[in-house]
Chains A and B, each alone.
Chain A
Amino acid sequence: MDKFDVIVVGGGHAGAEAAFAVSRSGLSCALITMDQTKIGQMSCNPAIGGLGKSHIVREIDAMGGLMGRATDLSGIQYRTLNTRKGDAVQALRVQCDRDLYKKAVQKILKETNIKIIQDEVVDFLLTNKKAQGVITKSKTYKSKKIILTTGTFLNGKMYTGNIIKTGGRIGDESSIPLSKRLYSLNLPMGRLKTGTPARIKLSSINLLDMEEQPGEKPTPWMSLASPPKKHQKQLSCYITRTNKKTHEIINKNIHLSAMYSGEIKGIGPRYCPSIEDKVRKFQDKNSHQIFIEPEGINKDLVYPNGISTSLPKKAQQEFIFSIKGLERSIITEYGYAVEYDFVDPRTLKQNLETKYLENLYLAGQINGTTGYEEAAAQGLMAGINASNSIKKLKDFVLERSEAYIGVLINDLTSHGITEPYRMFTSRAEHRLLLSQNNAEQRLILKANEIGIVKKERVDKYLSNEKEYKKFYTNNLVKLKKDFFIDKNGAKIRLQEKRSISSLLSRNDVDEKKLFKPNKKDTKLYQRAITEIKYSGYIKKQIREINKTKKQNNKQIPTNIKYEEIHGLSNEVKEKLIKTQPQTIGAASQIEGVTPAAINLILIHLKKKELVSQNA
């Protein structure tokens, strides 16, 4: 029988990142997928990054993951969003060539010891109520850990008007036997939906009628590691809008939409509504933006982002033809809504292992998230934690104040979800600490402790940090001035000389005129400006974090009986029983759990400890 340390089921963004993490941990790994040509497939819009998401990609990247590298190998348009706002909320968005992205992922995985197996997993190998491997259609494979990253395959249904097909993605079947096995575990489940727009031939679109949005110059990189030699050929995106007529057509046909006919029960994401929802819910808006994304270099296909729909084909065609520039569209694939089951992520521990079946980890869309980045982040963390557990190392858990990935997993495992979960910067209460540009400072050393980052990368990071410190001391601390130019261009004299760094903390100072760094130091100066501008706010946040850190990290044993805790209200008891928080910190985040309730839990835990000591 073939044996591996870890088996990853599924080859999407979570699966690829999970397998890659296991391999970097130095363990053996198999990735089992139904179609190996689809490993790393972008099944929605062909873009990586954006607000909250580029932050995640950079974090994955800082811990040695593949998503940033694959993005740079396939990126055809780079744009930094929020350039007029501060560093913490700037985000890089990259349009990718769909095929090149997939190829890049496959190439990276090929360079490792990961064994890729094309087969269908139909069951788990169970001994003593623990998962010990998987059974495929043709074979049985043993493993110490299993990571399930199967996306939307659980009871997936696709809707176009009144036509319903089973499956999780166009052209791909659902895995029915495995879903049955999963259902038999009685995990709490819910139902979600999401949608996609039609795909249109680029050659059939009149781009001259649309607003062009070119990429950023000079073109940046997503990965903070050494980039490829050069960028792929760069393309533009285009913007057009729906109009009154479009809305009329949609209103006229809305009863035919699968979502409005009552067929679909799942909850869709509010931040990614179908065009039917937009027209219905915001009747006062005469027009909605559509973002035309190229599918790839030399590819005669675009992704019209903003008009996802489950209307029948005829109606889709009619409303698309009413949009400026799309009047002669040739539609290659029609939009559809997908409805699927997800596992309530509150049944997962913070290391992403299920509380229901030992050795089984879940990552990605199966946990109710949406987005490549969110999936990849979970894959990475499940991969690391499965490996750590085999090596008898501690769980690798990131704090909310440490990484967006920490926010993501903490939100999932302690609050669960009510709609497909997507990251936003506003989800991170310590947002100012978490910039896409300081991901390495936050995470690389921590990841290096468990050996998942290449040595060259760590060395380069350390020397960069050294260089920054040198720059800071030599220029910003030692250099002093007795005047500065303010934002209105006026020269302000000072009573005594002050260092550049202390002048930078003033709001009225014009940073560009205060100090002119050498070209190679521009980035270092920019970093210093950001750090100084944020420092007051950050000090305050760090004070708050430290205040509760120790207590928050206290573990709550899984066998705790909340019903026994004298003095907790029934409502609080119910919430705690349902959520099963792993730590005091997670418990205190639950709505309605007061500081007094936390005290009672702490006392209860202590009591139990004493009783067991005396027994």
Chain B
Amino acid sequence: MSVVYALATPAVKSAICIFRVSGEGCHDYISEIFGLDSPQPRRFLLCDLKNNETFIDRVGLILFKGPESYTGEDSFEVYAHGSLGVMSLIVDLFDSKGFDQASPGEFTKRAFINDKINLNEAESLSDFIESASSREVFLSGASLFGDLSKKLSDFSERINSLRVRVEAEIDFSDEGQDFMDGSLSNDLSLLIEDFGSFVSLCINKREYSNNKNIVLVGPTNSGKSSIFNRLLGYERAIVTDAHGTTRDMISSEVFFQSNKFSIFDSAGIRETEDVIEKKGIETSIKKISDADLVLGVFEKKDASLVSSFKKMCDKGSFFIIQNKIDINSSDTSFFDCCVSAKTGEGFNSLKNLVVSFFERNKKNNKNSQYLIRDRHVKLFNQVTKDLDIALKGLNDSKSLELVAEDLKNARSGLDEILGKKFSDSLLGDIFSSFCIGK
């Protein structure tokens, strides 16, 4: 069976991540990916994972020789560092080798087919495949929303109708008709333009989530790190009473109300001679200007101090937060939100403030209408490329059957996103559009 891979650990930042790869011939790739020649199976090997000489990560590798493996086929497992970046580079690498992403239950199915698991297990596997596929349908329906999927279907149809004209010109060239009508190249460039502006309305889900960057700023020792820790729910930044304890940018991802945010704790800003601290402050200033939301943390009302921080963020918005209301009295008229990192008081309203800010902001963001995933980005790029090649081919009077092939590829890219398997109605479309036949 074909080579498939899957990330066996959750796709979140973690210490390590594990990829499983299985299928006939997958060991043929060991030397080009890991630089190892005929390594021993069933041993933990340390090696460098590379994509065409480009180093990705130092990883652990275990080879299993079929039938002595979970699936019964040749397979291997990769233990890499658990950063999202490494994960996506490994996914790209496997895709480029022609490996397929495993469908739900794939490894277990293979194990069954290769006599590795028994009938009872297989029974439950059938149920799993069934439920997984209906879940998949449901999910893809939900995540693609009606609108995006309609848009894609429209483009798919438009590509098809161009291909119909090309195919008619190929299969019925002795009919004495001009099927392409001279305007095919115009129609195609129009399609490319429309598709381009559609793609610009799409925003990658990952980028979108990563865009929710929140930076904590404020004078030193105002309690930024305590707020940071409180938001995260555990002690991460070093908190002491001494000024300038946070010398580096510390960041983490948090979830409130099923939204993901990246929160950065900046070094307190003050004049300093300490080189390391100075560097931390420079990083802070840079981060502040990139942030989507800046939370200024202060102990007391000090308008000039607040405005000096506000000046640093040229983009995004600025909320002023009063901390330490357990020792100072809160001032709700001046501050947007008043909390105590020590007692936890006011944190619910702080979270609500943050969430509703991003909610509001999303609605205002008119440019992005569609949320898409990494997989879609990749396919969109491929579709654009195929369409461009087709257009260039038409204009350079490349052989028409190759133009037809480009259009076919472009369309199958879109159909893959839609998860549809179209019956090839091409001939039907030709006959209904043209009077064919001697």
Which size class do A's interface residues fall under?
35 or more
For the complex, what is the distance from the CA of A50 to the CA of B235, rounded to whole Å?
78
Indicate if the CB atoms of A431 and B105 lie closer than 8 Å: no
Q: CB of A301 within 8 A of chain B?
A: no
Q: Which B residues have a C-beta under 8 Å from some C-beta of A? A: 1-2, 24, 98, 100, 103, 105-106, 109, 112-113, 115, 119, 122-123, 125-127, 129-130, 132-133, 136, 167, 170-177, 396, 398-402, 404-405, 409, 421, 423-424, 426-428, 430-431, 435-438
Indicate if the CB atoms of B171 and A51 lie closer than 8 Å: yes
Chain A 420-471 residues near chain B, CB threshold 8 A: 424-427, 429, 431-432
- What are the residues of chain A within 8 A of B177 when measuring CB–CB? 289
Distance (Å) between the CB of A590 and the closest chain B CB? Answer: 9
- What are the residues of chain A within 8 A of B431 when measuring CB–CB? 270-271
Q: Which A residues have a C-beta under 8 Å from some C-beta of B? A: 45, 50-52, 81-82, 85-86, 88-89, 93, 239, 269-273, 278, 281-282, 285, 288-291, 305-306, 424-427, 429, 431-432, 487, 507-508, 533-534, 537, 540, 543, 547-548, 550-551, 566-567, 591-592, 594-596, 599-600, 602-604, 606-607, 610-611
Q: Which 10 A-B pairs have the closest CB atoms?
A: A86-B399, A596-B133, A567-B130, A270-B431, A282-B435, A306-B438, A591-B423, A305-B438, A289-B176, A89-B401
13 further A-B pairs in the complex, CB-CB below 8 A; given A551-B2, A602-B113: A45-B438, A51-B173, A52-B171, A81-B173, A89-B401, A270-B436, A290-B438, A426-B427, A507-B396, A534-B402, A548-B2, A566-B130, A567-B130
- What are the residues of chain B within 8 A of A85 when measuring CB–CB? 170, 173, 399-401
Q: Taking each of B115, B125, B170, which has the highest tally of chain A beta carbons within 10 Å of its own beta carbon?
A: B170
- What are the residues of chain A within 8 A of B133 when measuring CB–CB? 594, 596
For the complex, what is the distance from the CA of A337 to the CA of B127, rounded to whole Å?
54
Distance (Å) between the CB of B172 and the closest chain A CB? Answer: 8
Indicate if the CB atoms of A291 and B130 lie closer than 8 Å: no
Q: Which residue of B lies closest to A590 (CB)?
A: B423
Indicate if the CB atoms of B437 and A271 lie closer than 8 Å: yes
- What are the residues of chain A within 8 A of B405 when measuring CB–CB? 431-432, 537
Q: Which residue of B lies closest to A45 (CB)?
A: B438
Indicate if the CB atoms of B421 and A603 lie closer than 8 Å: no
Indicate if the CB atoms of A533 and B399 lie closer than 8 Å: yes
- What are the residues of chain A within 8 A of B24 when measuring CB–CB? 550
- What are the residues of chain B within 8 A of A611 when measuring CB–CB? 119
Q: Which residue of B lies closest to A597 (CB)?
A: B133
For the complex, what is the distance from the CA of A550 to the CA of B1, rounded to whole Å?
7
Distance (Å) between the CB of B426 and the closest chain A CB? Answer: 6
Q: Which residue of A lies closest to B434 (CB)?
A: A282
For the complex, what is the distance from the CA of A426 to the CA of B399, rounded to whole Å?
15
- What are the residues of chain B within 8 A of A507 when measuring CB–CB? 396, 398
For the complex, what is the distance from the CA of A280 to the CA of B96, rounded to whole Å?
52
- What are the residues of chain B within 8 A of A607 when measuring CB–CB? 119, 122
26 pairs from A and B in contact (CB 8 Å cutoff): A50-B174, A51-B170, A51-B172, A81-B174, A85-B173, A88-B401, A271-B436, A282-B435, A289-B177, A291-B174, A424-B171, A426-B171, A426-B426, A432-B402, A487-B396, A507-B396, A533-B399, A534-B402, A550-B1, A567-B129, A591-B423, A596-B132, A599-B106, A599-B109, A600-B126, A606-B113
For the complex, what is the distance from the CA of A345 to the CA of B173, rounded to whole Å?
30
Distance (Å) between the CB of A511 and the closest chain B CB? Answer: 12
- What are the residues of chain B within 8 A of A288 when measuring CB–CB? 435
For the complex, what is the distance from the CA of A51 to the CA of B438, rounded to whole Å?
13
For the complex, what is the distance from the CA of A551 to the CA of B4, rounded to whole Å?
14
- What are the residues of chain B within 8 A of A534 when measuring CB–CB? 402
- What are the residues of chain B within 8 A of A424 when measuring CB–CB? 171, 427
The answer to whether residues A599 and B105 also contact, given A82-B173, A305-B438, A306-B437 and a CB cut-off of 8 A, is yes
- What are the residues of chain A within 8 A of B132 when measuring CB–CB? 596
For the complex, what is the distance from the CA of A508 to the CA of B122, rounded to whole Å?
56
Q: Do most interface residues of chain B lie in helix, strand or loop, or is the interface mixed? A: helix
Indicate if the CB atoms of A289 and B399 lie closer than 8 Å: no
The answer to whether residues A566 and B438 also contact, given A50-B174, A591-B423, A596-B133 and a CB cut-off of 8 A, is no
- What are the residues of chain A within 8 A of B123 when measuring CB–CB? 566
For the complex, what is the distance from the CA of A200 to the CA of B98, rounded to whole Å?
60
The answer to whether residues A93 and B174 also contact, given A426-B426, A591-B423, A600-B129 and a CB cut-off of 8 A, is yes
- What are the residues of chain A within 8 A of B113 when measuring CB–CB? 602-603, 606
For the complex, what is the distance from the CA of A425 to the CA of B136, rounded to whole Å?
36
For the complex, what is the distance from the CA of A550 to the CA of B24, rounded to whole Å?
10
For the complex, what is the distance from the CA of A273 to the CA of B172, rounded to whole Å?
14
Distance (Å) between the CB of A574 and the closest chain B CB? Answer: 16
Indicate if the CB atoms of A425 and B103 lie closer than 8 Å: no
Indicate if the CB atoms of B175 and A289 lie closer than 8 Å: yes
For the complex, what is the distance from the CA of A566 to the CA of B423, rounded to whole Å?
25
Indicate if the CB atoms of A547 and B400 lie closer than 8 Å: no
Indicate if the CB atoms of B400 and A281 lie closer than 8 Å: no
Indicate if the CB atoms of B438 and A603 lie closer than 8 Å: no
Indicate if the CB atoms of B401 and A596 lie closer than 8 Å: no
User: A566 is contacted by which of B98, B126, B409, B427 (Cβ under 8 Å)?
Assistant: B126
Distance (Å) between the CB of A583 and the closest chain B CB? Answer: 15
For the complex, what is the distance from the CA of A82 to the CA of B171, rounded to whole Å?
9
- What are the residues of chain B within 8 A of A89 when measuring CB–CB? 170-171, 399-401
For the complex, what is the distance from the CA of A86 to the CA of B438, rounded to whole Å?
24
Distance (Å) between the CB of A268 and the closest chain B CB? Answer: 10
Indicate if the CB atoms of A603 and B122 lie closer than 8 Å: yes
User: B170 is contacted by which of A282, A426, A537, A596 (Cβ under 8 Å)?
Assistant: A426
Distance (Å) between the CB of B95 and the closest chain A CB? Answer: 13
- What are the residues of chain A within 8 A of B401 when measuring CB–CB? 85-86, 88-89, 425, 431-432
- What are the residues of chain A within 8 A of B426 when measuring CB–CB? 426
Indicate if the CB atoms of B437 and A272 lie closer than 8 Å: yes
Indicate if the CB atoms of A278 and B396 lie closer than 8 Å: no
Q: Taking each of A52, A599, A602, which has the highest tally of chain B beta carbons within 10 Å of its own beta carbon?
A: A599
Distance (Å) between the CB of B205 and the closest chain A CB? Answer: 24
User: B435 is contacted by which of A281, A305, A600 (Cβ under 8 Å)?
Assistant: A281
Q: Taking each of B105, B172, B405, which has the highest tally of chain A beta carbons within 10 Å of its own beta carbon?
A: B405
Q: Which residue of B lies closest to A613 (CB)?
A: B115
Q: Which residue of A lies closest to B432 (CB)?
A: A270
Q: Which residue of B lies closest to A551 (CB)?
A: B1
Indicate if the CB atoms of A606 and B112 lie closer than 8 Å: yes
Indicate if the CB atoms of B174 and A278 lie closer than 8 Å: no
The answer to whether residues A425 and B170 also contact, given A596-B129, A603-B125, A607-B122 and a CB cut-off of 8 A, is yes
- What are the residues of chain A within 8 A of B424 when measuring CB–CB? 429
- What are the residues of chain B within 8 A of A566 when measuring CB–CB? 123, 126-127, 130
Distance (Å) between the CB of A82 and the closest chain B CB? Answer: 5
For the complex, what is the distance from the CA of A153 to the CA of B126, rounded to whole Å?
48
Q: Taking each of B112, B167, B171, which has the highest tally of chain A beta carbons within 10 Å of its own beta carbon?
A: B171
For the complex, what is the distance from the CA of A611 to the CA of B396, rounded to whole Å?
61
For the complex, what is the distance from the CA of A285 to the CA of B435, rounded to whole Å?
9
For the complex, what is the distance from the CA of A223 to the CA of B266, rounded to whole Å?
81
For the complex, what is the distance from the CA of A566 to the CA of B105, rounded to whole Å?
16
Distance (Å) between the CB of A242 and the closest chain B CB? Answer: 11
Indicate if the CB atoms of A537 and B1 lie closer than 8 Å: no
- What are the residues of chain B within 8 A of A594 when measuring CB–CB? 133, 421
Indicate if the CB atoms of B98 and A543 lie closer than 8 Å: yes
Distance (Å) between the CB of A17 and the closest chain B CB? Answer: 24
Distance (Å) between the CB of A27 and the closest chain B CB? Answer: 38
The answer to whether residues A278 and B171 also contact, given A432-B401, A543-B98, A603-B113 and a CB cut-off of 8 A, is no
Q: Which residue of A lies closest to B164 (CB)?
A: A426
Q: Which residue of B lies closest to A530 (CB)?
A: B399
- What are the residues of chain A within 8 A of B98 when measuring CB–CB? 543, 547
For the complex, what is the distance from the CA of A32 to the CA of B115, rounded to whole Å?
52
The answer to whether residues A291 and B436 also contact, given A432-B401, A537-B405, A606-B122 and a CB cut-off of 8 A, is no
For the complex, what is the distance from the CA of A432 to the CA of B400, rounded to whole Å?
11
- What are the residues of chain B within 8 A of A45 when measuring CB–CB? 438
For the complex, what is the distance from the CA of A291 to the CA of B175, rounded to whole Å?
9
Distance (Å) between the CB of B159 and the closest chain A CB? Answer: 15
Q: Which residue of B lies closest to A611 (CB)?
A: B119
The answer to whether residues A602 and B399 also contact, given A537-B405, A548-B2, A596-B103 and a CB cut-off of 8 A, is no
- What are the residues of chain A within 8 A of B105 when measuring CB–CB? 599
